[in-house]
Amino acid sequence: MLFLGGTHQLFHLAPVAAALSRIAPQMRITCIASDPHVADLIGDVGRRMGAALLRIETVEAPGWWRRFAQWIGRPKLSKLALLLRLAPRLARARTIVTPERTSALLRLWHLTRARMIHFRHGAGDRAPSSESRLKAFDLIVVPGEKDVVRAVDQHHIDPARLRSTGYVKLDYLRHLDSARPRLFANARPTILYNPHFDLDRSSWGAAPAVVEHILSDGRYNLILAPHIRVAETLDEAAIAQWHALADPDRLIVDFGSDRLIDMSYVRAADIYLGDMSSQLYEFLAEPRPAAFVNAHRAAWRDDPRYAGWHLGEVAETPDGLLDAIDAAVAGHPAKIAEQKAAVARAFGEIDGACERAARILVEVLEEDVHAGAAAIAAPAPAP
């Protein structure tokens, strides 16, 4: 299994790897991590799930390439170098499982004949252009009905190549600790502001105004927790300026901790504020008020990429932000049923998702083994 896309993708597949190694100990399951921290997190998942046989290796892109990619502001280019480094090994693999789509290049470049399986990370509505790579995968595993319909209708994927399992990340994390973290020592309601990294649709450019409006109002605590990839667009000085605003009594600023990926902030907040992130649906797994910042004056009402915005209130300008938040809180009772339905369509059946996903892989891997045995047993053609 390949974990090359960053920590935000980890909980969408690592629990499946752990469950698989536990229910099918006869199979050799190796997790390849792109850095030591990712490897440590996979190991933690394995320990928590009792997966003693889980194999984890760290394979990094060459240091000079990582420095070059960082220097030109394209850190994700490191994945290309890493894929090339892994290519000889992956050419011998029987099955490759990954939560990211860059690995589709292995198939497009004819670097592997392995069966390739993609696990969708997240369950949002953005439908990025990278989804066009789905056709390179032999099997696509998604959380719920929403992604099945989109894959078939928009990308013309054969339904036979799609399986839905439920939302693995939430199935895993909700069994660790169901208590809501208390991050502020006061009784004010807490807003989670979670702008996306896609700057063409994100409200990140309006973040200074958003933070100023909320802090000046004084009624709320604020967690500024953008998508973890936002940090890729900022230099150290910019990040330091943001961190200088942090105040333990009212403002948490986080660009890189594990709390961005383990739902700590999602569970702690009372109100969601964002734009395009699929973390909206993780937040709404427990229905709560939501508001959105339309920083690009998008014509969102009939655009399926903004379907989540119908589950709350929309601020068409930063100046209208507090009114939108107030309306989201006041009108939330009328949104609860719609929020629950949207989460069900996005996430499917959550309980048991990790094991269901693992059993899908058992079926696939056993098919490969039987196919290989049949090929060996087949008589050689007559001379």
CA 9 → CA 3, 75, 262, 293, distances in Å?
Answer: 8, 16, 11, 25
CB 251 within 8 A of CB 169: no
Beta strands 271-274 and 190-194 are: parallel
In the predicted model, what is the mean pLDDT of the chain?
91
Residues 25 and 160 in one domain: yes
Residues 238 and 329 in one domain: yes
With a CB cutoff of 8 Å and minimum separation 6, the contacts of 281 are 123, 124, 308, 342, 343, 346, 347
Question: Quick check: is 333 in a domain?
Answer: yes
For 173-200, the pLDDT digits (tens) are 988 876 788 999 999 999 999 999 998 8
Question: Quick check: is 80 in a domain?
Answer: yes
Percent of the chain as helix, strand, coil, to the nearest 5: 50, 15, 35
Residues 138 and 249 in one domain: no
The span from the CA of 238 to the CA of 204, in Å, is: 13
Question: Quick check: is 377 in a domain?
Answer: no
Q: Which domain holds residue 208?
A: 190-345
The span from the CA of 59 to the CA of 45, in Å, is: 19
CA 275 → CA 173, 208, 254, distances in Å?
Answer: 24, 15, 18
Question: Quick check: is 163 in a domain?
Answer: yes
Residues 232 and 337 in one domain: yes
Q: Give the pLDDT score at 62.
A: 77
Question: Quick check: is 326 in a domain?
Answer: yes
Tokens of 284: 């709404």
pLDDT tier for residue 280 given thresholds of 50, 70 and 90: very high
CATH number reported for the structural domain that contains residue 129 in this entry: 3.40.50
Residue by residue, DSSP assigns 110-168 as: T---SEEEEEPP---S---GGGGGGGG-SEEEESSHHHHHHHHHHH---GGGEEE---H
Residues 326 and 356 in one domain: no
For range 168-173, the mean pLDDT = 97
Residues 146 and 249 in one domain: no
For range 310-329, the mean pLDDT = 96
Residues 341 and 354 in one domain: no
Residue length of the chain:
383
Beta strands 251-253 and 221-224 are: parallel
Residues 157 and 92 in one domain: yes
Question: Quick check: is 382 in a domain?
Answer: no
**pTM > 0.85: yes or no:** yes
Query: Is residue 373 scored above 70 in pLDDT?
Result: no
The closest of 9, 73, 64 to 234, measured between CA atoms, is 73
The span from the CA of 167 to the CA of 377, in Å, is: 40
With a CB cutoff of 8 Å and minimum separation 6, the contacts of 218 are none
Beta strands 313-315 and 251-253 are: unpaired
User: How many domains is the chain built from?
Assistant: 2
pLDDT tier for residue 36 given thresholds of 50, 70 and 90: very high
Q: How many CB atoms lie within 10 A of CB 69?
A: 18
Residues 139 and 206 in one domain: no
From 129-133, 160-164, 254-258, the region with the lowest mean pLDDT = 129-133
pLDDT tier for residue 38 given thresholds of 50, 70 and 90: very high
Query: Is residue 130 scored above 60 in pLDDT?
Result: no
Residues 208 and 120 in one domain: no
The span from the CA of 225 to the CA of 255, in Å, is: 6
